[in-house]
Structure 1
Amino acid sequence: MATITRIKNDLLSIDVSSLGAEMQSITTRDGAAWLWNGDAAFWTGRSPVLFPIVGKAPDDTILVDGKPHAMAQHGFARRREFQLTAASDTFCRYGLEASEETRAVYPFEFRLSVEHRLDGRVLTVAAEVENHGETTMPFGFGFHPAFAWPLPGAAGKPHVVTLDNGGEPRRQPLASGLLSQDRTPSPFAAGRLALSPDLFANDALVFPDGAGDGLVYGAEDGPALAFRFENLPNLALWTKPGAPFLCVEPWHGTAAESGGSRELRDRPYTSVLAAGGRARFAFTVAFPA
């Protein structure tokens, strides 16, 4: 059975489940709920951690040195029970290590640690991947948090995503979960994207590069969330049309490309750790004062 760890300060309260080290709620002191509630009518996820792949593999199968391994979309970490390894009032760390079950589909000796930390009105979610094996270890990693749309107190207001770098990154469309090898013009104009459900009629908006290291998701003349990303060069935005959430997804790795290699290490933006190596990925989100 999954257990819940609560961390809190005077401004924020966060619940994190041992199943997938996944956030279950983010609440401010006024009782407002900022994280999606996992309503099964739309999507049961809330803030899954994506490892050892991001997105889909052809026929849900990856190749590791030519050998096929079954791998569901976004990997297996989100369905695994993590162990609580450290906790305080404002911090918790969960860990997942290689096991017989994981080695059957991902033949590497890894450790994945996921931390949630509060500092005033800022939440930091960080992950560290370690290679405990004797060979190089390829993997993809991503965060997939879903926030309320509309944001609390902003019903009826237009919502906008604004890139800190003012960029107009090109989109890489998805077809049956795989990335097209084409790029399409950016839906951003001078870093600004006005959100509407029809943007997501054909799945997520994926921006493999150029979105920068930060953005603001907020309502016009209303509340806003400010994000910063560390070692996460890819960005996706996603919802199901009609669902009251927006996923802001920073990644290091993407879905496989249609017609591309099925080898894990050849997937776009795959990380490859040397034996004994480690890599850190993180995002922060600042809530309204």
Structure 2
Amino acid sequence: MIKIEFNNYQATISELGAQLTSLMNLATKFEYLWQGAPQYWHYQAPILFPFVGRLKDDQYKYQGQTFQQTQHGFAREKEFTVINQTDNMVEFELNSSRETLNVYPFKFRLNVTYLLDEQGLHVNYQVTNPSDQEPLLFALGAHPGFNVANSQFNQTKVTVKPNKQYQQIPLVGPYNDSGNPRRLDLQQPLKLSHDLFSHDAIILALNNQPVELTLAQENSKRGLTVKIEGAPFVGIWSPYPQQAPLVCIEPWWGIADRLDADQQLDHKMAIKHLPAGDTWHAGFSIQPF
């Protein structure tokens, strides 16, 4: 486990999956991040790569071959290497290998940087295509879970800025039904309930606009804000039907397959096509208060 600190805050990150495992206020000993429990959800903040969500029938096709891949890809199960570290920053790296090439026929380099400063915890991603010829097709997402006690679940709300109506992409089973979008009025805060997640995640189409999602109890001075720039989607999720004491706010640069997906990776909704030799950057921040 790697620990970084700034002022009263400490973040802990595991080399397994480069997963954030703690975000704590050292002065109050308050833990913002979900601590994991298998009866609900044993992950805490996995990195979703090279896919976000479920592939149709857990497979995809590329250049005449069929590949098997489970939900959210493989990065969350891989050991990352620490390549740079200071008191308040750490950078991890994962490279393609013979093992990954068996299920994902692309060379890649994935770098994840965590930085704590006066504005909170910054999480930055960098995907590099080391090939000198082939494009790199991928998606990436964040899946941080935050503590919300069941006794306070119905008194917790998510405030989205800009306050407006958003396009909501429904899920039918594990697949997206973007052909039948809904409108979700978020001019007022979204009040949480466990039944809100009876159809899985609430997915908002952001169209790459900057947004802020603040998770806090009513009349509370403690909570957190997730700030996102340049992401096409954000998911809000809590396990159902379990009454789990957590809520995830998930910036996504990708999405699960459409209901009518033909499984051809080139056609996949929101898949990134990174040219040979290029690097892609993205990120978000968590500002606790």
Please tell me whether the aligned partners of residues 170 and 183 of structure 1 are also in contact (alpha carbons under 8 angstroms): no
SS at match of 2:92: strand
Gaps of 5+ in 2: none
Matched, 1:244 2:245: yes
* More displaced stretch, 93-102 vs 163-172: 163-172
C-alpha displacement of 1:176: 2.5
Q: Select which of 172, 175, 189 maps to 1:175.
A: 172
- Check conservation: 1:173, 1:182, Cα contact below 8 A: no
Hey, what's the Cα distance between the residues in 1 that align with 2:195 and 2:4?
36
What's the CA shift string for 1:97-154, capped at 9, x where partnerless? 0100101111111000011110025100111000001211111111000011149xx9
Q: Is the 8 A contact 1:236 1:250 kept in 2?
A: yes
Cα distance, 1:192 vs structure 2? 2.6
Could you say which residue in structure 2 is the equivalent of 1:108? 106
Q: Distance in 2 between matches of 1:227 and 1:18?
A: 23
Q: In the superposition, relative to structure 1, how do residues 196 and 186 fare at CA in structure 2: closer, same or farther (>3 Å)? A: farther
Gap change, CA 1:104 and 1:191, over 3 Å in 2:
farther
3-state DSSP of counterpart to 1:160 = strand
How many angstroms does 1:93 deviate by?
Answer: 0.7
Structure 1's unaligned 5+ residue stretches are none
For the residues of structure 1 that align with 2:152 and 2:186, how far apart are their CA atoms? 24
Q: Describe the SS at the equivalent of 1:44.
A: coil
SS at match of 1:171: strand
How far residue 184 of structure 1 moved from its aligned partner, in angstroms, is: 4.3
Quick one: distance in 1 between partners of 2:207 and 2:183? 10
Q: Does 1:208 align with 2:205?
A: yes
Aligned to 2:185: 188
In the TM superposition, what whole-angstrom CA distance separates every residue of 1:150-194 from its partner, at most 9, and x where no partner exists?
49xx94772111221112212222223111244343343315311
Q: Residues 118 and 258 from structure 1, CA distance in 2 versus in 1: closer, same or farther, beyond 3 angstroms?
A: same
2:14 aligned residue? 17
Deviates more, 1:176-185 or 1:87-96: 176-185
**Corresponding residue pairs, total:** 283
Tell me, yes or no, if the aligned pair for 2:36 and 2:42 is still in contact at 8 Å.
yes
CA-to-aligned-CA distance 1:2-21 (integer Å, 9 cap, x gap):
xx101112211111000000
CA contact (8 A) 2:120 2:287 kept: yes
Correspondences of 1:36-75 after superposition (within 5 Å) = 36-75=34-73
Q: CA RMSD in A?
A: 1.8
Q: So what's the TM-score if we normalise by structure 1?
A: 0.93
Residue matched to 1:224: 223
Alignment of 1:142-161 (within 5 A): 142-150=141-149, 155=152, 158-161=155-158
Q: What letter matches 2:255 in structure 1?
A: T
Distance 1:272 1:8, change over 3 A: same
**Is the contact between residue 209 and residue 230 of structure 2 (CA under 8 Å) also seen in structure 1?**
no
- Whole-angstrom distance in 1 between the partners of 2:79 and 2:171: 30
Q: Choose from 127, 130, 135 the match for 1:129.
A: 127
More moved, 220-229 vs 240-249: 220-229
Residues 1:31 and 2:32 are matched in the alignment: no
Q: Distance in 1 between matches of 2:14 and 2:125?
A: 15
Does 133-142 or 190-199 show the bigger shift? 190-199
Aligned twin of 2:274: 273
8 Å Cα contact 1:157-1:220 kept in structure 2: no
Q: What's 1:76 paired with? A: 74
Q: Distance in 2 between matches of 1:20 and 1:191?
A: 36
1:254 equivalent in alignment to 2:255 = yes
For 1:129, give the aligned amino acid: V
Q: 2:248 is aligned with what amino acid? A: C
The separation in 2 between residues aligned to 1:114 and 1:232, in whole angstroms, is 16
Q: % of aligned pairs identical?
A: 29
**How far, CA to CA, are the matches of 2:80 and 2:100 in structure 1?**
13
Does the aligned pair in 2 maintain the 1:165–1:211 contact within 8 Å?
Answer: no
In structure 2, the CA distance between the partners of 1:100 and 1:234, relative to structure 1 (3 Å rule), is same
TM-score calculated relative to the size of structure 2: 0.93
Match of 2:95 among 97, 110, 119: 97
Alpha-carbon distance in 2 for matches of 1:138, 1:156: 39
Q: Which moved more, 1:70-79 or 1:164-173?
A: 164-173
